[in-house]
Amino acid sequence: MSRILITSAIPYINGIKHLGNLVGSQLPADLYARYMRGRGHEVLFLCSTDEHGTPAELAAAKAGMEVEAFCAQMHDTQAEIAKGFGLSFDHFGRSSSAQNRKLTQYFAGELAKNGLIEERSEQQVFSLADDRYLPDRYIEGTCPNCGYENARGDQCENCTKQLDPTDLINPRSAISGSTDLEVRDTKHLYLRQSALKDRLDSWITSKTDWPVLTTSIAKKWLHDGDGLQDRGITRDLAWGVPVKKGTEDWPGMEGKVFYVWFDAPIEYIACAAEWAEANGKDEATWRGWWNEAEGADDVRYVQFMGKDNVPFHTLSFPATIMGTNGDDKGWKLVDYIKSFNYLNYEGGQFSTSQGRGIFQDQALDILPADYWRWWLLSNAPESSDTEFTWERFQADVNKDLADVLGNFVSRITKFCRSKFGEEVPTGGDMTPEGKKLIEDLEARLAAYQTHMDAIDMRKAAAELRSIWTAGNEFLQTAAPWSRIKTEPEAAAADTRLALNLIRVYAVLSAPFLPAAAQTMLEAMQTDDTAWPSSMAQALTALPVGHAYTTPEVMFRKITDEEREDWASRFAGTRS
């Protein structure tokens, strides 16, 4: 048994996210967490809400609430949505927690001791119309690198180039739209990332198993243009972690807070401290997951995120860890980063302002979570962007879930009930068709595990689909409804095998379809979730005489009328 630490990109607090955010971090992280638990590993799966920065202040003001109250309410909302999608976090924390405040200040103090934080006078944009300094995310303009007209002051989401607000062409306030801006001098702290460039480069180069998407983005930021730049880690804001050196005040930094991109990744560690406190565990327990000098040397740490988050998690957060550790073993660096491209919607992008695309709360309102989990994970944007269309969604759900998995469960339980009653039948020895099925499933199980271990989700989903299909093909070939007329013992043996296959399907499908898996287990009246060591053994787990029930329809088909209604409803104000 291994210890697996899993984190997914933490969702920002200012609103409910669309399905692209879900499939780009939290959902695949949950898939992996559930799989690793199913294989018997010890897992700590952590996520949080990202609560600091100007967007939270503005969203709170728009809602007519104090920012602290707004963040508390939105945390509860996002936690409820996560629960609705079956996300199995061990803890869903908050970056505004006392634990994160303490750790962020600690890391800043240690970096300063190690000579990796520098105070600099800089020019920052001040909006006369808004009467405030504008954080870089609230300055928009044209990217000097690619010409994208809605680039933000910290990064162009079109070409992913890291920017400073003063780099933008024709800058404007994202708050008011005003172009009445001026540049003023102010003092801020910078993390000297450039001093760690060689260490970061060697570390990233050593990760030969990382996805190409992850390493290519990291290398681009390291080497393109002027290479890795030092990063400002403070802002002129009221809402955030106050700037301190550990527990000491930081002269000249009064009234400033740490930049959200500095404190947010540290929340991964703080979330473990929150988890420990919430579950009555001591400090040594959570530090044993995160600090290699205190027990985490046997932990494998896996992160999940969209490609826009990769630079901060391959460079800035590792720089914070490396700079704090020095040359000693200490806070754990990530072992593997699974990154994702974008999920697009019907030929364009999701848009909150235009009401374009389906968002997470809306998705749960119209269909149960497993429908979404299956489609998103089986079409995850791993090697390229993925296009969501209602036609594809309807076709895949109806075929994979209703016609293949759901049909198998319904078909065999109803047949057995009508011919043998609601108990696993006795029957004779295994038939040739049954032996062939087991041989086929042994190979498919091995392939499924290989893809899941490698976090190749689309390949894993395809193999799982083939395992479901094999059950249907077995029923077609063995045809127990015909065989019972001349070979009742053989028909009973095939039926017994097929009923046992439902339990196996429940176990293998649980990472993708937790609710359906539970339905199958309840129908088979078992809580045996043991992962198959071999198909021959697993397909005899339910003994002769074991009672079962026939479940209701597991997956209903999506109608053409529903598809057309949803496509119209979520088309947005403009195409």
Q: Which residue has the higher pLDDT, 88 or 236?
A: 88
Q: Stretch 79-105: mean pLDDT, rounded?
A: 98
Tell me if 156 is assigned to a ligand binding site. Answer: yes
Same domain, 86 and 149: no
Q: Indicate the burial class of 274 (C-beta count within 10 angstroms; 0-12, 13-18, 19 or more).
A: buried
pLDDT of amino acid 575 = 37
Same domain, 417 and 503: yes
Q: Indicate the burial class of 316 (C-beta count within 10 angstroms; 0-12, 13-18, 19 or more).
A: buried
Q: How many domains does the chain have?
A: 3
Same domain, 334 and 410: no
Of 292, 272, 458, 497, nearest in space to 377 by CA: 458
Tell me if 271 is assigned to a ligand binding site. Answer: no
Tell me the pairing of strands 343-345 and 386-388: parallel
pLDDT of amino acid 147 = 93
Cβ-count burial 448-480 (b if 16+ within 10 Å, e if not): bbebbeebbbbbbbebbbbbbbbbbbbbeebeb
pLDDT of amino acid 133 = 82
Same domain, 66 and 161: no
pLDDT, tens digit (0-9, with 9 covering 90-100), for 125-172: 889 998 888 878 789 999 999 999 999 888 887 888 888 888 899 999
What pLDDT band is residue 550 in, cutting at 50, 70 and 90? very high
Mean pLDDT of the chain: 94
Tell me if 215 is assigned to a ligand binding site. Answer: no
Establish if 199 belongs to a structural domain. yes
Same domain, 148 and 54: no
Helices vs strands, H then E, count in the chain: 22, 18
Same domain, 47 and 155: no
Q: What is the CATH number of the domain that holds 444?
A: 1.10.730.10
Q: What is the CATH number of the domain that holds 291?
A: 3.40.50.620
Of 494, 518, 516, nearest in space to 405 by CA: 516
Establish if 65 belongs to a structural domain. yes
In this predicted structure, the answer to whether residue 430 has a pLDDT above a threshold of 60 is yes
Q: Stretch 238-249: mean pLDDT, rounded?
A: 95
**CA distance between the termini of the chain:** 51
In this predicted structure, the answer to whether residue 1 has a pLDDT above a threshold of 80 is no
Domain C-terminal end among 357, 387, 417: 387
CA distances from 212 to 8, 25, 60, 301, 461 (A): 19, 17, 39, 18, 21
pLDDT, tens digit (0-9, with 9 covering 90-100), for 268-286: 999 999 999 999 999 999 9
Structure token pair of residue 544:
């002769």
Same domain, 153 and 75: no
Residue 334 in 3-state DSSP? coil
Same domain, 107 and 120: no
What pLDDT band is residue 55 in, cutting at 50, 70 and 90? confident
Establish if 160 belongs to a structural domain. yes
Same domain, 155 and 268: no
pLDDT of amino acid 574 = 39
In this predicted structure, the answer to whether residue 444 has a pLDDT above a threshold of 50 is yes
- 314 vs 212: CA distance, rounded Å: 13
Tell me if 143 is assigned to a ligand binding site. Answer: yes
Structure token pair of residue 575:
């195409």
Q: Which range of residues forms the domain containing residue 221?
A: 115-232
Establish if 125 belongs to a structural domain. yes
Same domain, 120 and 224: yes
Of 294, 289, 312, 315, nearest in space to 45 by CA: 289
Establish if 562 belongs to a structural domain. no
Q: What is the CATH number of the domain that holds 198?
A: 2.170.220.10
pLDDT of amino acid 573 = 62
pLDDT, tens digit (0-9, with 9 covering 90-100), for 178-227: 999 998 888 999 999 999 999 999 999 999 999 999 999 999 999 987 78
Establish if 10 belongs to a structural domain. yes
pLDDT of amino acid 226 = 78
Same domain, 323 and 220: no
Tell me if 426 is assigned to a ligand binding site. Answer: no
Same domain, 402 and 534: yes
Establish if 368 belongs to a structural domain. yes
Establish if 252 belongs to a structural domain. no
- 539 vs 438: CA distance, rounded Å: 8
DSSP 8-class letter at 359: B
In this predicted structure, the answer to whether residue 485 has a pLDDT above a threshold of 70 is yes
